[in-house]
Structure formats: C-alpha cells, structure tokens
Amino acid sequence: MPCVRSRCVTQPGLAATGDREMERKTVSTCPFCGVGCGIVVHTRDDRITWVDDDPANPSSRGMLCVKGRFGIPFVQHPDRLTTPLVRRDGELQPASWDEALDLVAERLLDYRGAFGSFASAKATNEDAFVQQKFVRLVMGTNNIDHCTRLCHSPSVEAMLVQLGSGATSNSYIDYEEASCLVVVGCDPDSNHPVIASRMRKAVDDHGTKLVVVNPKRIDLASRADVFLQPAPGTDVALFNGMARAILDEGLEDRGFIAARTEGFEAWRAVVMERTVEEYAQACGVDPHALRLAARLYARPPARRGLPADERPGSCLAWGMGITQHTHGTDNAHALINLALLAGQLGRPGCGISPLRGQNNVQGCGDAGCIPDSLPGYQPYRDDVVARFEEAWHAGIPREPGIKATDMVERIATGEIRAMYIVGENPLLSEPNLAHAGDLFRRLDFLVVQDLFLHETAELADVVLPACSFAEKDGTFTNSERRVQRVRQAVPRVGQSRADWEIICDLARRMAPHVGVDPGQFAYRSAADVFAEMARLTPQLRGISYERLEREGGIQWPCPSPDHPGTRYLYAQSFPRGLGKFVPVRQAAPAAELPDADYPLILNTGRVLYHWHGGTLTRRVQALLDQVSEVPVTIHPGEAERFGIADGDEVVVRSRRGRLTGRAIVTDAVRAGSVFVPFVKLRESAANFLTNNAYDEPSRIPEYKVCAVRVEKKRPRDTALTGGQPTASRDR
C-alpha cells in the first residue's frame, strides 16, 4: 500500500508479526489530523500490532501518512494514566473513581458562575456533546470552548459573517477535479499529507494549475505555477491586490456577483484605493506574479479531462498562516471576498477550505463546544433554547460564554476560578507560556482529563484518566464534514474510561443539587449519545450508527434518513441568503515587529513527525527518532550575520522567553525570519517565546509573528529554556 511521501520509518513496538491469521482487525479513523483517513487497527492478544490503511475510505482512498501508519503506539505506552489522581499534601496521588469524582462534584458546585471548560478536538463527537451538555445544564454557563480558538476561529468568524456557515464548502475530490488550486498559509505536505497527495495528483495527472502563497518555500511550492512569498502578516494587501488585478482585467464573475452577493460596490471602492503595484510592494511580491495568480484563480484554463460544458473551477485552501495573526479575521475576509468575486463557490471542482487541524475539531464545534452557539451552530434564540430545554427538562443559559483565550486571561480578574480541561494541553499550546503558567497556577480548582500527565495536568487538583480513540466507540467529523466511525479495538488501559462516561458519572453526582434530572446523563452507549445529538442538530438529523455501519462515513448536511449527504455547499444559496463582501484594508503586519534588540521574525508551526507540543508523538520512538531536537530553520543571510552554521546548537530569545534548538540553514525561509515548530523537545518549546496578542473578533493569538534574536549556543548556556526574560532591560 502506498505510504504518502516515501519517508516511511520502521516501527518498533508495532512490529508486524508473521502470523496474520491470529490477528483481529478493527476499521476505524486516524486520531491525528483533520484529513480523517481510514485506518485498520490490527491486534493480537489485546495488543496493537500493526496499523494499515482502509482502501474503502473515500477521504483517504488507501493512503496514510507516517503518523497514521506508525504513530499509534502512544495508545499502549507505559506512561498512560491508569487511575484517577487527587492532590493530597501537595502531591498528586492515586485515588478511586468514587473518591475523585465525589471531590470534583463537591468542589465544582462552589464555582458555578466562575467556571470554564476546554473540550477536546481529539475526543469523539459523543464526548464533546456530553461535555457541552454538562457545562450548560449542570454548571449553568456557556463558558466552553476548544482548540478551534487557537486555530480556525478567524475563518469561522469571517465565513459566518459573509456566508452564514463556518465549514469547509467542498470535498477532497474537488481538489482533484479543480482546474486551479490556491494553497495559502499552510503546509499540506507536513500537516495534511494525504490532502497534499491528492493535490499533487491533480497537478501531475490532470495539469491542474497551482498557486502557493507562503513566506516559507514549502515542498508543494516546487510544483507551483506561481509561488508568492509575501512578508509575514501582509495577506490582506496580497489578496486585495489579486482582487484589484481581477477587476482591472474584467475577470470577475458578474452574473454570480449580481445574483448571489451584496456589498460589492462598497468593497470595490476600498480595493480600488491602491494599484496592483502598490499592493505588491506592500507585501513584497512581484506584481506580474500577483497578476498571473489572479488570472489563474479567476479564469483557470480547463484541466485535462474536464467536460467541455463545465466551467473550470478553482479551490482556495488555507491554514494557520492566514488565521494566527492579530488581523486573522481580516485575512480570512480578504480570501472569501476573492472567492465571491470570482464566483468560485457552489460547483464541483471549486470552493473554499479552511483545512481543519485536529482529527475532530470540526465535530467538536458541531457538537456545541463553543461559547457563542448551541450544537449545530444554532443561536441562543428563544425558539432554539426552548427546544433544548424541552429535551433536557431544565433551563440553560442564553448569554454567550467566554472564549478560550479570554478564559485564561480572565483567571487574573477572578472571573474564572475553576476549570475542567479535557484533552488539551494549554501549557504547551497557549502563547507566552510563562504568563499562561502564572495564570493557571492562580486557579482555585483545576481538573484535567487526559491520556497522559502532561504539563497542564501536573498543576491540576484532580487528574482523570481518559481512554484513547482505540479503546472506545464513537465518531469523528473530518475536514470535508464527513462523520466517520471510531471503533474500540483494544481493552481500556488501566481504569481509564471514555470521556463521555466520566462526564456522565460526574454529572449524575451533581445533577440533583442543581435541579437537573440525573437521567439526562444515563446513556447506555455512544450510539445513544449520537442519537440525541442528531435529534437536536438539523445538519446531522439523517445520520445514525446504523447508516454509518451500512454506508461508511456521511458528509453533513444530512437532514433526513434518506438524504445521501452533501459533497459541496452553496449550490443554490448561502445560509445567510446572499454572500456578503466585507471591505478590509491592510493593518500593521503584527503586534510586535523586529527591532535592533530582536531583529528577526519568529514564524511557528509544525513538522510532519510531531503532533503539537508532542504529548503523543514524543512517546512514539519511531517518530522521535526522526526529529529529536527543536529545529530552528534560518535563512543563510541571517545565519551568516549571526555567525551560525548549519547544525549548530542555537538559542532563540524573545522578550518573553528562550529556547535551545538545532540550526537548519536554508533559503526556504524568507530573509529576516526563522521558523520553529512548537513541539517541546529536550525541554525547549516555542511558546515560551510567542506573544499573547490577540485578533479582536476571534481572540486567536498571534502565533505567526513575534520578534526574536538567534545566537549560537555558548558552553555556559546550559539548559537554556523557559520563560524568564533574558535581559534586565526587557523587564
């Protein structure tokens, strides 16, 4: 079976056994990224022996990347939490489930009103649905959020305003059927490898045109017809420039604009304020290349094999390079304006894709783990709230809750005094970790529910052991809105339990004290939970476990049991009616820019072999072997300026902290910047350096730009990592 990219690794701990007949096989879904590849988990004597692809899965079509194929040994790693832990005499010590849950129930009852919860985009839809029900019904608050806040919240914000829905509009098959792909601020080869593979197939087999926009020369750029390498934080200028070029050459889709949109003239007036040359200069790209990119997107030449009567389509895909800025929502508006201008929505082979990150970040939002709406993005409107209250036989709050990044900041004001964190590790994933750590330490009461005792769990008052995707039944929803089954393949590790079961047990203990019927948390199975979620969520109403069993994954919206599911959205109209142009002007590129003391821009992101802070992938030897130190990628010009050679151990410092890593000198990064993934290796982690400055509408942190300096590590710089400011003048 093909392994995406040829970078396969050997698999200690998952060595294939000779006699395959003795093995059991369980069809499930990859627990890493939002592509949602189908996997087959092979087990023998209750141990996972091997993971293979699922050729029948329509999202992955027999492909897997290195993490799906070789990254699963974290499931049965000896570090897994096996019992609840309760802090006694300052130490986390093993406790029974009854002791731990009684304590959590008793303490949380005191904090209704000053409570917040993070849900997990790694856990299932069923886990997420039960958690938001607990927070709303038992804790009486809408203070629930998850990592979407750190991820695509600006995209969702912009799409809701302009279109009325926050999901990817198309499917992976549309990338293969497109005549042009525009890939912006993301690195699919490392972060969505199977999507990258499908995009390469389009380019190689069908002659699809490719435009890549990224300050870093990512691998996919080698296949691009146009590669634009803008200065970080200047995407509004770049996309307004493309829009201006389309208008100058009359390539806009006038029929689409007239029939399907509003606000065109006001938006056009703003775009016309500058010329293509001025826009190109503002973002540091060649104006001819900008014009060419605009032509390819608006009117691509038909790809090979396209029926003569079909209009060639363009897909726009983007990632964190767009969103993780103090003007992330403006960036997303600029992209959606472009799609409306060119009419590249609502047909096969076109559409817009904010590439979703975590395996179930789509589903966690769909299930209602966001502060500003109920399951299915339903607003806190009287009729909607009444429907939930009728189903749940008790009142729920109508005030929007506090967003994740604000919950952390509002620990300082006492608005948040207790937190329940499920399957997230904010003390590696939030920006400015020294600051975040100070805040988390000020909580009165912290519960963490996870597979491992990670950095955040170490501060908790109670730690609850959750079981992984391989030990439970459920569903994940991937980046193309496909709801897919997750099936138990191995027995649970230790006393760990599924997240939804733990929360139900806790909720039943607390319910009688807050006027809620404990029967509301008495589900018999994951299927039971899904059935309730589908009943209350219009776009999932037609999906059931029976159908998923029979038909495989189904793409929402699927409003009725006989509906086949939806490949692409917006064929006839947008959920808000007309698509809305929103004028945006380029703001200052970032909150903190280079100066004499910190002359470089730090761009943070990911590498193929690691997952976020590394809680999972540091425990997979085969992946750790590939990348075991923090790579610091630096431009040759800067390397020379700061006396750094390829392979040197280097120290990177910002006003907030420092890390030690290994230099990779390459002109793939833009002059003036360094790229560091945010995985923690050898105690070094990029988020000690990043800036807790936020985009106003979405409250996403500016992970993609802050000012740093880099120097070769000197012998006396031992164990340089952490969050202390590095020079007295910085204090």
Ligand X SMILES: Nc1nc2c(c(=O)[nH]1)N[C@H]1C(S)=C(S)[C@@H](COP(=O)(O)OP(=O)(O)OC[C@H]3O[C@@H](n4cnc5c(=O)[nH]c(N)nc54)[C@H](O)[C@@H]3O)O[C@H]1N2
Closest distance to ligand SF4 from the beta carbon of 35 (Å): 4
Among 602, 609, 607, smallest CA distance to 670 is for: 602
189 makes contact with ligand X (CB under 6 A): no
Give the residue with the Cβ less far from ligand SF4, 315 or 402. Answer: 315
Region from 136-144, 343-351, 612-620, 691-699 binding ligand X, contact rule CB under 6 A? 612-620
Q: Which member of 235, 480, 532, 592 binds ligand X (CB under 6 A)?
A: 235
Q: Exposure string (b/e) for 99-115, b if CB count within 10 Å is 16 or more?
A: ebbebbbeebeebeebb
706 makes contact with ligand SF4 (CB under 6 A): no
Length of the chain: 731
Q: Which member of 300, 423, 579, 723 binds ligand X (CB under 6 A)?
A: 423
- Tell me the HSE value of 282 on the side-chain side, using a 13 A CA sphere: 21
Q: Rounded to an integer, what is the distance from CA 71 to the centroid of its chain?
A: 18
Residue 156 touches which member of Mo ion, ligand SF4, ligand X, none, C-beta under 5-8 Å by kind: none
| Chain position whose Cβ is nearest to ligand X | 319
121 makes contact with ligand SF4 (CB under 6 A): no
232 makes contact with ligand X (CB under 6 A): yes
Give the residue with the Cβ less far from Mo ion, 151 or 290. Answer: 151
Enclosing H/E stretch for 209: strand 209-213
Q: Which of residues 169-208 bind ligand SF4 (CB under 6 A)?
A: 192-194
485 makes contact with ligand SF4 (CB under 6 A): no
Among 117, 530, 157, 95, smallest CA distance to 330 is for: 157
Region from 60-68, 251-259, 640-648, 686-694 binding ligand SF4, contact rule CB under 6 A? 60-68
Closest distance to ligand X from the beta carbon of 223 (Å): 15
Binding residues with ligand SF4: total (CB under 6 A): 14
**How far apart, in whole angstroms, are the C-alpha atoms of residue 144 and residue 42?**
36
Among 652, 712, 701, smallest CA distance to 676 is for: 652
Residue 454 touches which member of Mo ion, ligand SF4, ligand X, none, C-beta under 5-8 Å by kind: ligand X
Closest distance to ligand SF4 from the beta carbon of 39 (Å): 7
419 to 364, 415, 588: CA distances (angstroms): 18, 11, 35
Q: Which of residues 539-578 bind Mo ion (CB under 5 A)?
A: none
Radius of gyration of the chain (CA): 25
Residue 632 touches which member of ligand X, Mo ion, ligand SF4, none, C-beta under 5-8 Å by kind: none
Among 210, 213, 214, smallest CA distance to 224 is for: 210
Among 684, 682, 678, 676, smallest CA distance to 708 is for: 676
Q: Which member of 33, 183, 332, 408 binds ligand SF4 (CB under 6 A)?
A: 33
Closest distance to ligand SF4 from the beta carbon of 37 (Å): 3
Other beta carbons less than 10 A from residue 380's beta carbon:
17
Give the residue with the Cβ less far from ligand X, 181 or 558. Answer: 181
Closest distance to ligand SF4 from the beta carbon of 4 (Å): 7
530 makes contact with ligand X (CB under 6 A): no
Residue 452 touches which member of ligand SF4, ligand X, Mo ion, none, C-beta under 5-8 Å by kind: ligand X
Pairing of strands 351-354, 701-702: unpaired
Closest distance to ligand SF4 from the beta carbon of 162 (Å): 28
Region from 11-19, 61-69, 147-155, 637-645 binding ligand SF4, contact rule CB under 6 A? 61-69
Tokens of 3: 């392994």
- What residues contact residue 84 under an 8 Å CB cut-off, 6+ apart? 94, 95, 96, 97, 99, 100, 101, 462, 463, 464, 465, 495
**How far apart, in whole angstroms, are the C-alpha atoms of residue 166 and residue 160?**
5
168 makes contact with ligand X (CB under 6 A): no
Tokens of 613: 């802070």
Interface residues toward ligand SF4, by CB under 6 A = 30, 32-33, 35-37, 60, 64-65, 67-68, 192-194
Interface residues toward Mo ion, by CB under 5 A = 151, 357
